[in-house]
Amino acid sequence: MHLTLGFSPCPNDTFIFDAMVNNKIDTNGFTFDTNLEDVETLNNWAIQGKLDVTKLSFAVFLKVRDQYELLNSGSALGRGCGPLLIARDNISLDDIKNKTIAIPGENTTANLLFSIAFPEAKNKKIMVFSDIENAVLNGEADAGVIIHENRFTYQLKGLKKLMDMGEYWEQTTGNPIPLGGIFIKKDISAEKRAALDQLIHQSLQHAYTEYPALSAYVKSHAQEMDEQVMRQHIDLYVNNFSLDLGKEGHAAVDALMSAAQKARN
């Protein structure tokens, strides 16, 4: 079965999908047209129903759940891995509502978590996640919500953390942070959905057998990262929840969906 597949070029996703898209394991008859894009692009494509299987921010799930179903494998969900609110200078959290905040996409979980913490902050500037640090440095934004590898680089540029958005979520809900998951179209048969879910699980297991060695596929798509940062990225965003969400993972997703519903109302 041939499927269109989308995920980000970030090391956590390329690490998970490398074995299955590059035929390092038996794909059980599945072949893929692979699209590596920023997660907000994938979010918008899912709203259009463009891909068969795709990585998505959990925040967009409410908008696409009539078309897509969440798989158990491949998710980015955990503790201590949430987005950070950063700035050049110290800003009072009470004053955030009056500031211009750069966010990595309207439909991202990062924006949802920021909105839950700062519901009165409306002056947002939507950017590609990798541009946010520089936007804050050059004054285009007063502060920014950073994700992915920027968690490991912002201090090197002299930026300061104002709040850990994931820590806020964990403290207020007790749940791990659901960032992004792998979704498949509901019009694909239940048998094929289950088979693909298992294939993603096997692909990640294969990646772990070679880790901490990094494949050429992971390194070729990482954006200006040295290998240490790539491993930090993988260690932060890939874990047991990536192998199988389980009850705790699904409960965390349900809690985020409830929070998202309240934020929309």
Per the annotation, binding residues for substrate are 55-57, 109-110
What is the reported pLDDT for 224?
64
Q: Which of 148, 201, 221, 250 is catalytic?
A: 148
Same fold, 2-78+178-264 and 84-173: yes
Backbone angles phi, psi at 2, to 5 degrees: -95, 130
Whether the Cβ atoms of residue 83 and residue 145 lie closer than 8 Å to each other: yes
Q: CA nearest 168: which of 82, 257, 265?
A: 82
The CB density around residue 174, as the number of other CB atoms within 10 Å, is 10
Cα separations in angstroms, 126 against 1, 22, 107, 123, 245: 37, 34, 10, 10, 30
Per DSSP, the three-state class of 76 is: strand
The residues facing 101 across adjacent strands are: 124, 143
Six-digit token string for 98: 């009056």
250 assigned to active site = no
Encode 144-165 in three state secondary structure.
EEECHHHHHCCHHHCCEEEEEH
Q: Domain 84-173 maps to which CATH number in 3.90.1580.10, 3.40.190.10, 3.30.470.20, 3.30.565.10?
A: 3.40.190.10
CA dihedral 200, 203, 209, 211 (to 10 degrees): -90
Per the annotation, binding residues are 55-57, 109-110
pTM of the full structure: 0.89
The residues facing 7 across adjacent strands are: 36
Domain boundaries, the chain: 2-78+178-264, 84-173
What is the reported pLDDT for 263?
73
What is the reported pLDDT for 264?
66
The dotted CATH code for 2-78+178-264 is 3.40.190.10
The segments of the chain whose pLDDT lies below 70 read 223-224, 264-265
